[in-house]
Amino acid sequence: MIKNIQLNSFIGLFCAFTFSNVNAQQALFIPSTLSGSTISLDIQQGAVNFLPGNSTPTFGYNGNFLGPTILLNKNDSVSFNITNSLLDITTVHWHGLHVAPENDGGPHQEIMPSQVWSPSFKIRNNASTFWYHSHVHMSTEYQVNLGLAGLIIVHDSTEASYVLPRTYGIDDFPIIIQSKSFDILNQLAAFTHDDSIMMINGTIDPVLDAPAQVVRFRCLNGSADRTYNLGLSTNANFYVIASDGGMLDQPISANRVRLSPGERYELLIDLTGMQGQSLYLMSYASQLQNGIIGSPQVGTGMAQLPGYAMNPLNGADFNLLNIDVVAQTTNPVTTIPVQFQTNVKWLVQNADTSRILTFAPEVMGPQEMVEGPFTISGKSFDMDSINIHIPFNNTEIWSIVNNTMVAHPFHIHDIQFNVVDRNGVAVTGIETGWKDVVLVRPQETVRVIAKFETFYNDNIPYMYHCHLLHHEDEGMMGSFIVNSTASTGINSNIYNDIKVELYPNPVGDILYTTIPKGADFVIYNSTGQVIEYYEKSFLEDKLVVHTSSFVNGMYFIQVKTPKGIIVKKFVK
């Protein structure tokens, strides 16, 4: 049996107290499942013997560590009873699920110690793999690191119509990938870059007996900040069938998949005819682009993450899971579907509003460019303020601009989005599927589009944030409210206290605008060509634009103030 080939290269370099103690492979733990119309979770303290010596204090749902996999069907209504048996405040966020803000489990839905939280909601998402985890204000990294995370599998009738592996734990496997750092007393240490121990579903050095047929891996990156570059030790291709929020249009053949924190991809791996062989699911992190945590290099010169170069996983290719291929099951799946249902995506030309969200360090400096703390459009998270107001049913394009030297996985609650482009280049392949997390690399601008439908609430916000958990805890997060007033012909919006109104829309010969005094003001057409430009050239908060010479078509007004940027659309 091949064992830990890739780790051997640096095992000598790295320490007596980690790998040398962990030499026995263990069967991959498969979390139990919960289903039905009432689901109870008890959030508990526990302890696990991860390493020889002291046991490790942990948190878990209905157990010591992590949580059961929750099986849901689209259109079912489910009630939850969630008991907090911890001594700490916690929350339970349904990452990726389209639920009302009061059910979302973000930092505003705190569950006090010994209290019970009982949200109930209808499952509206399409079949895919989601997850639940703590989202408590400023301690998300600590709580997720200790074990507060679990998988959610949503089934629907469309997915059920394809020949796919879907017997949980037999040919359909949860793969929760996490890196951990243990201190000398075997306690899980958060807030370090020393996360050198890998675990899948809480199992260190795991082995899975998988049947010699097509198997399905539901991969979740549940790590605090490490990105993986999934591949097989055989370098064989596999098929990606689903991204965060749903199935792709068709299986896409690949031999590498980049998985940043919070993201999910479902893989089909064809093990047909391989009985008796042994292979590894690996991370080929040496091939990750620099700037991504886990890649060979993050930052340059003075801009360094403390201890980054010392961590043996950074820039290395390493094993995640040993797969021992065993006998086929009865009725094995041995084929890969050719086509799934085509997803109907949001179209850029139908967007009502565009916004720009910019990542920058709170304080400028080389070290700060990689280490943060980071802000989004100049703001740190504030529990009591709302950053963005979105009219109900608005379709929006968010341009996410990364002006830092580290890659950030950006997550939006409530909706699933389509990734439009990266630095103006349309995305392809597995990135064309439904997503709720997108990795934004240094110097990259990523545009995403989504419609904010079904739920509105004038008081309770949803979150958007970096899914590197210490970035989120340090304030790289903002809040948005989907307002009850639907989007109308008169564009009116507030962003970071910027109020912009345009009327009439569609416009004739004159466009009346209300915008903040002293703002820069640019009008451009649908191809991005600038038509009018006013640089702090007016002192009034009203501006009349003569549009008689404008050709018929769609236009955008970008209003830029020190507080942020907002883009509104109008039609001539």
What tokens does 287 get?
């091939």
At position 174, the amino acid (one-letter code) is P
Q: Closer CB to ligand C2O, residue 145 or residue 493?
A: 145
CB nearer to ligand C2O: pick between 470 and 569: 470
Residue 560 in the binding site for Cu ion (CB under 5 A)? no
Q: What per-residue string of b and e applies to 291-313 under the rule 16 or more CB within 10 Å gives b?
A: bbbbbbbbbeeebbbeebeebbb
| Nearest residue (CB) to ligand C2O, 106 versus 294 | 106
**Which residue, 135 or 226, has its beta carbon nearer to ligand C2O?**
135
DSSP tag of 427: P
| Length of the chain counted residue by residue | 572
Q: How far is CA 452 from CA 128, 394, 462, in A?
A: 20, 6, 11
Establish if 95 lies at the interface with ligand C2O (CB under 6 A): yes
Could you tell which of ligand C2O, Cu ion, none binds residue 463, using a CB distance below 5 to 8 A set by kind?
Answer: ligand C2O
With CB under 6 A as the contact rule, the residue among 98, 108, 180, 413 that binds ligand C2O is 413
Q: How far is the CB of 476 from Cu ion (least distance, A)?
A: 5
Stretch that binds ligand C2O, among 62-70, 265-273, 463-471, 556-564 (CB under 6 A): 463-471
**Does 468 participate in binding Cu ion (rule CB under 5 A)?**
yes
Does residue number 435 form part of the binding site for ligand C2O (CB under 6 A)? no
**7 scored as a contact of ligand C2O (CB under 6 A):** no
Per CB under 6 A, the segment of 63-71, 229-237, 459-467, 503-511 that binds ligand C2O is 459-467
DSSP 164: -
Count of positions on this chain that bind Cu ion (CB under 5 A)? 4
The answer to whether 47 and 187 have CB atoms below 8 angstroms apart is no
Pick from 258, 379, 441, 465 the residue near ligand C2O by CB under 6 A. 465
Q: How far is the CB of 411 from ligand C2O (least distance, A)?
A: 5
56 versus 109: smaller Cβ distance to ligand C2O: 109
Three-state SS at 144: helix
Return the number of the residue (104 or 371) whose C-beta is nearest ligand C2O. 104
Listing DSSP states for 292-335 in one string gives STTSS--S-TT---TTGGG-TTTT-EEEEEEEEEEPPPSS----
Among 463, 466, 559, 566, binds ligand C2O (CB under 6 A): 463
For position 226 contacting Cu ion by CB under 5 A, the verdict is no
Contacts (CB under 6 A) with ligand C2O, residues 151-210: none
Q: Of the candidates 95, 133, 180, 471, which one interacts with Cu ion according to CB under 5 A?
A: 471
- Using CB under 5 A, which residues numbered 448 to 467 contact Cu ion? 466
Q: At closest approach, how far in Å is the CB of 262 from ligand C2O?
A: 5
Chain centroid to CA 305: how far?
22
Whether the CB-CB separation of 166 and 155 falls below 8 Å is answered with: yes
**Is residue 251 at the binding interface for ligand C2O, with CB under 6 A as the rule?**
no
Q: Which residues pair with 319 in a beta bridge?
A: 282
Site membership for Cu ion, residue 93 (CB under 5 A): no
Other C-beta atoms lying within 10 Å of the C-beta of residue 468: 26
Closest CA to 438 of 227, 173, 172, 178: 227
Longest dimension (CA), the chain: 79
Q: Is 411 in the site for Cu ion (CB under 5 A)?
A: no
In this structure, the number of other CB atoms found within 10 A of the CB of residue 480 comes to 22
Residue 323 in the binding site for Cu ion (CB under 5 A): no
In 3-state terms the chain splits into helix, strand, coil percentages (rounded to 5) of 10, 45, 50
Is 379 a binder of ligand C2O (CB under 6 A)? no
Query: Which partner, ligand C2O, Cu ion, none, binds residue 413 by CB below 5 to 8 Å per kind?
Result: ligand C2O
* By CB under 6 A, residue 411 contacts ligand C2O: yes
Among 258, 408, 435, 441, binds Cu ion (CB under 5 A): 408
| 160 close to 272: Cβ distance less than 8 angstroms | no
User: Which residues does 16 contact at the CB level (< 8 Å), separation at least 6?
Assistant: none
- The reply to whether 461 sits near ligand C2O by the rule CB under 6 A is no
Report CA 303 to chain centroid distance, whole Å: 26
Contact 111, 92 (CB under 8 A): yes
Among 98, 108, 135, 568, indicate the residue that binds ligand C2O (CB under 6 A): 135
Out of ligand C2O, Cu ion, none, which partner does residue 95 contact, by CB within 5 to 8 A per kind? ligand C2O
Q: Look at residue 260 and give its three-state secondary structure.
A: coil
Nearer to Cu ion by Cβ, of 231 and 299: the residue is 299
- Which helix or strand (DSSP H or E) is residue 145 part of? helix 140-146
Residue whose CB is less far from ligand C2O, 94 or 570: 94
Q: What is the distance between the alpha carbons of residues 273 and 212, in angstroms, rounded to a whole number?
A: 6
Binding site for ligand C2O (CB under 6 A): 93, 95, 133, 135, 262, 411, 413, 463, 465, 467
Binding site for Cu ion (CB under 5 A): 408, 466, 468, 471
